[in-house]
């Protein structure tokens, strides 16, 4: 009798265990299906959100472009009208006080501003991947400094490159050129009353850091948080896309751009190119 009771008890336990296991398996399958459903729903929501964000960015961009184009078209129309009057009157100057050459210079300035805006917009919206190559950074810095040397001389700005000749970088040279050029031009704008503009590069942990430093008035703390926002600018002219382009270039290289105020004055923009992602940097960099 005892053996039968124990047998029945073991059979009952086994049945309960099997039933419980079956229910757990079914619950597991149900949860898996629910997780898949929720994941698909989340992905769809994310796609919709990304689409809305892109549309919002495009709307903001369209409004900005329309505003900038209008700002340049109005004076262009005026200058062309004045030039037409002067040519009709066969006179070298009009009552406006501008010569034909001066009017042409003003037209050229406005056209160059529009060209720059289009160039910045194309760079901002471009989504191309880096074309990797290894090059000497010092040569690129010297080339960029030569581009702005006459402009710096006119404003009393001293240029200094402290990049060691042996420093090499594996990256997209055109994108790096664009990023550093943007930072140099921003620094020149900050040094309207003269000063020193320095470029340095050195190993910083697991990254190669490129510093663009000026001893200008610096950037107020309340503005630093917005520096990389598209279309944000404190200049009277400009698209406000330069630093956004720099940030995108660094992201495409798995790097970052940072800004800090120097004491007692000045600003330093730093580009960090990770050495882990770019193994060729391990040679030719200085500590």
pLDDT in tens, 155-165: 899 999 999 98
Residue 287 belongs to a domain: no
State the residue range of the domain holding 268. Answer: 133-282
d(CA 94, CA 29): 86
43 with 115, same domain: the answer is: yes
Token pair of 104, please? 């042409």
118 with 173, same domain: the answer is: no
pLDDT category at 183 given cuts 50, 70, 90 is very high
| pLDDT for residue 27 | 87
The per-residue pLDDT for range 21-54, each reduced to its tens digit, is 888 888 888 888 888 888 888 888 877 776 666 6
d(CA 79, CA 154): 27
163 with 245, same domain: the answer is: yes
What is the pTM assigned to this prediction?
0.60
242 with 260, same domain: the answer is: yes
* Rounded (to 5) percent helix, strand, coil in the chain: 60, 15, 25
Total number of domains in the chain:
2
pLDDT category at 250 given cuts 50, 70, 90 is very high
167 with 211, same domain: the answer is: yes
137 with 261, same domain: the answer is: yes
Neighbours of 117 (CB within 10 A): 20
| pLDDT for residue 176 | 93
d(CA 143, CA 237): 26
The per-residue pLDDT for range 84-96, each reduced to its tens digit, is 777 776 544 445 5
């Amino acid at each position: 009798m005892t053996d039968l009771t124990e047998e029945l008890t073991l059979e009952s336990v086994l049945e309960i265990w099997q039933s419980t296991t079956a229910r757990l398996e079914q619950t597991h399958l149900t949860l898996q299906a629910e997780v898949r459903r929720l994941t698909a729903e989340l992905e769809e929501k994310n796609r919709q959100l990304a689409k809305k964000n892109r549309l919002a960015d495009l709307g903001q961009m369209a409004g900005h472009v329309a505003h900038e184009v209008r700002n340049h078209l109005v004076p262009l129309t005026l200058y062309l009208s004045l030039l037409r009057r002067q040519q009709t009157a066969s006179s070298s100057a009009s009552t406006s006080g501008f010569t034909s050459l001066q009017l042409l210079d003003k037209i050229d300035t406005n056209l160059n501003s529009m060209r720059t805006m289009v160039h910045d917009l194309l760079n901002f919206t471009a989504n191309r991947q880096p074309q990797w190559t290894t090059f000497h950074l010092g040569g690129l810095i010297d080339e960029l400094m030569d581009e702005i040397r006459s402009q710096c001389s006119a404003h009393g700005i001293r240029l200094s490159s402290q990049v060691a000749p042996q420093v090499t970088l594996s990256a997209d040279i055109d994108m790096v050129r664009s990023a550093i050029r943007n930072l140099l031009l921003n620094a020149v704008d900050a040094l309207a009353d003269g000063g020193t503009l320095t470029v340095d590069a050195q190993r910083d942990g697991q990254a190669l850091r490129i510093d663009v430093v000026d001893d200008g008035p610096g950037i107020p703390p309340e503005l630093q948080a917005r520096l990389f926002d598209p279309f944000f600018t404190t200049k009277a002219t400009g698209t406000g896309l330069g630093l956004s382009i720099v940030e995108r270039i660094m992201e495409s290289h798995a790097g970052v751009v940072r800004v800090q105020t120097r004491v007692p004055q000045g600003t330093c923009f730093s580009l960090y190119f990770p050495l882990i992602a770019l193994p060729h940097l391990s040679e030719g960099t200085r500590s």
